[in-house]
Structure 1
Amino acid sequence: YALMDAVVDRYFPVLDSLEEELERLEESIFRSTPTRASIEAFYDLKHEVMVLKHAVAPLMEVAGKLYGGRVPALCAGLGEYFRDVYDHLQRVNTAIEQMREMLQTAISVSFTLINLAESETTKRLAAWGALITIPTLIAGIYGMNFQHMPELNWVVGYPLAIGLMVAVDGYLIYRFRKAGWL
């Protein structure tokens, strides 16, 4: 009993340090866009939690059997002590499960934030692409070498084409800024 109790009691400081690390990582999620290093830190912590779970599970099974009355005759009066060890192991196991869930949630939130940042970048690129496309289209049409385009003989044809490019792009800039794309 004393050996199992000593081993189980040493899990609590390990569990506390893992919880502190998780809290530190969770706080960092919203400070900046998650990076590869922060995602790796979550997975490293998840691995450490799983190692602890694999250490706790066999002890929990043994303590459960010993607490349940399946003890050698030498340990017959120690049922209450094994129940205490089993209770501690259950607390550790519950904390591990909660940490696993919190880690999974934190990883999901990190990926969601990365997707949101990518979406913002895509919107900005689309807006800039539209701003470049309109003048290119107008210049392409008026740059064709046809003889029978009535606008080519206008005195105001060139300034009108430039004005049209500026006006359309100005309107697009206004709309994109209003939508939050620029």
Structure 2
Amino acid sequence: MSMIRDLRAAVRPSRVTPHRGGGACDPDRDPGTASAVVDCAVYRDGRRVPAEEPLSPHRALRQVRRDGGFVWIGLHEPTEDEFAGIAREFGLHPLAVEDAVQAHQRPKLERYDDSLFTVFKTVHYLDHDQVSPNSEVVETGEVMCFTGRDFLITVRHGGQGSLRTLRHRLEEDPQLLVKGPSAVLHAIADHVVDGYIAVADAVQLDIDEVETEVFSPGRKGTPRGTDAGRIYQLKREVLEFKRAVAPLLRPMQLLSERPMRLVDPEIQKYFRDVADHVARVQEQVTGFDELLNSILQANLAQASVAQNEDMRKITSWAAIIAVPTMVCGVYGMNFEYMPELRWRYSYPVALTVIVGICLGIHRTLKRNGWL
């Protein structure tokens, strides 16, 4: 058991503390957007353009369309008013803007005239020592991407899934960033799917632990049916994981197979690898669901067998107790004319007969596995 916990700790994905408002505020922009913008930067020739002061989305877009490059804006849980100015400035489609603000969307890819709108579900494994009927195993969030010719806007929902580390890693690879916004879109997709793989490995260890406990011999003294709640809770968490992974396969296939003018042809090839990873995780999660169904059915079958064994034991002892009950009941009727009432040895003979019959029944039932 301790070995499983050590392995689970080893595959837990690292957590990044979300950051709000760092290095994004600018005096001449709409103050309503200050709390939502996490970072705003211009990239030209694969490198981040230094700025003496934090850029506003408006100034960044003007700079890009004057000097070239692209702008990457990161937002965290913007309100409708906070996002309205950016949506107008970049010409985002109202339906996509509504989805980005309200969140709780399924993974998808939508194409508009001048942009792509992509929704990713982020999944994070929550630390725990043991799965309980009330424990939460996975936590989901959302990352939405607006990809245009010269901009990429990411909208993040949830306490996990920060893209700050990814941004820093991309800034260290100018050859990739020079490909434009589609390179960042691929990096985000790859980052999200890598999180799926790590969570899948951790959930696999949880399932192995529950499976080991359910089928472990020598579980005497454990209350019957205590594992059913844990298995059902784990099944619910796996179902939530499945909802995040399964719908993403089709968008990744579209990005890898269909030519799109907003996606660099060289970057498009890399989406095939992401689609393959999504397919692998989808198969793994589907297997988790089926395996948990089998474990739950086996656990219920074990509980049913245990109940049947208890009933057989109760029935066996009831049959043994019925012998003295019947004999004592007959001779307790106190009729005047009853055989052996005045016989000197009637009492010890009656006790001997009762004990003998009870021992014979007990031996027979024990030989047949009822006791």
CA distance in 1, matches of 2:300, 2:226: 13
2: CA distance, partners of 1:44 / 1:144:
59
Q: Alignment partner for residue 43 of structure 1, among 232, 238, 241?
A: 232
Where 1:152 maps in the other structure, the secondary structure is coil
Q: Verify the 8 A CA contact 1:131 1:172 in the aligned structure 2.
A: yes
For structure 2, list consecutive stretches of 5 or more residues without a partner in the other structure: 1-185
Q: SS of the residue aligned with 2:340?
A: helix
Classify the secondary structure of the residue corresponding to 2:310: helix
Structure 1 distance, partners of 2:283, 2:215, is 27
Asked whether the equivalents of residues 225 and 299 of structure 2 are also in contact (C-alpha less than 8 Å), the reply is no
Q: Is the 8 A contact 1:60 1:90 kept in 2?
A: yes
Alpha-carbon distance in 1 for matches of 2:247, 2:286: 16
* CA pair 132-27 structure 1, distance change in 2 beyond 3 A: same
The runs of at least 4 aligned residues of structure 1 exceeding 6 Å deviation read none
Cα offset for 1:146? 1.3
CA distance in 2, matches of 1:48, 1:3: 24
Match of 2:355 in 1: 166
Once residues 308 and 226 of structure 2 are traced to their aligned partners in structure 1, the CA distance between those partners, rounded to angstroms, is 21
Q: 2:260 aligns with which of 47, 66, 72?
A: 72
Partner of 2:307: 118
- 1:78-93 counterparts in 2 under 5 A? 78-93=267-282
**Given the superposition, is the C-alpha separation of residues 165 and 30 from structure 1 closer, same or farther in structure 2, using an over 3 Å criterion?**
same
String of CA shifts for 1:121-179, please: whole Å, max 9, x gaps: 11111111111111000110111121222232333322222222111101111112212
Q: 1:35: how far off?
A: 4.4
Report the equivalent of 2:252: 63
- 1:1-182 correspondence runs (5 A): 1-31=186-216, 32=219, 35-69=224-258, 71-77=259-265, 78-182=267-371
* C-alpha deviation, 1:119, in angstroms: 1.5
SS of the counterpart of 2:351? helix
Cα deviation, 1:57-105, whole Å, max 9, x if unaligned, reads 2211211222231x53121513322211111100000000111111111
Partner Cα distance (1:17, 1:34) in 2: 27
Q: What is the aligned residue count?
A: 181
TM-score by length of 2: 0.46
CA contact (8 A) 2:238 2:285 kept: yes
Partner SS, residue 262 of structure 2: helix
When you count strand as a share of all residues, which structure comes out higher? 2
Say whether the 8 Å CA contact 1:42–1:107 is kept in structure 2: yes
- Distance in structure 2 (CA, Å) of the matches to 1:18 and 1:176: 45
Q: Separation in 1 of the partners of 2:324 and 2:243?
A: 64
Higher relative contact order (Cα pairs below 8 Å, separated by 6+ residues): 1
Q: After alignment, is 150-159 or 83-92 more displaced?
A: 150-159
CA 1:34–1:27 in 2, change beyond 3 Å: closer, same or farther? farther
> 1:34/1:25 Cα in 2 relative to 1: closer, same or farther (>3 Å)?
farther
Q: Tell me if structure 2 keeps the 8 A contact 1:34–1:114.
A: no
Counterpart CA distance in 2 for 1:17 and 1:138 is 64
- Counterpart-to-counterpart distance in 2, 1:52 and 1:137: 62
Q: Aligned partners of 2:227 and 2:254: how far apart in 1?
A: 41
Quote the Cα distance in structure 1 between the aligned partners of 2:336 and 2:322.
25
Report if the CA contact (8 A) 2:225-2:300 is conserved: no
1:17-46, Cα deviation, whole Å (9 max, x unpaired): 000111111111123267444222211211
What percent of counterpart residues are identical?
Answer: 34
